[in-house]
Amino acid sequence: MTLNVAEVQPSSRLHRLSLAVAVTIMLACTLYPPLMTAPDGKADHALATALFIAMSVAFVRGVGFIPRRLVWRRMFSGWTCLAALALAGGLKFLH
């Protein structure tokens, strides 16, 4: 048995908060693309990347998928989504 594989699988159920965050990011980026632009009108790739990472992690967590391997479970956790959202907020605030 490898150490990085969970022995007991946590329950996989729908996480409504994560799913709501993912859908909100998706709709905001789709309906208002200037959200991801710099003040000079060019695309802010760092901000877009942080938002899309947060959206992807929130979708994976929101639909209830919990990976077996510890590294993937940490990568697709709510804390990763929160960190990506904090980074996006910081990047938006700096501009």
Q: How far apart are the first and last CA of the chain?
A: 49
User: Tens digits of per-residue pLDDT, 37-79?
Assistant: 988 989 999 999 999 999 999 999 999 998 999 999 999 999 9
Residue 11 Cα to chain centre, angstroms: 20
Which of 73, 90, 79 lies closest to 9, judged by CA? 73
User: Tens digits of per-residue pLDDT, 79-90?
Assistant: 999 999 999 999
**pTM assigned to the model:** 0.83
The reported pLDDT for the residue numbered 39 is 87
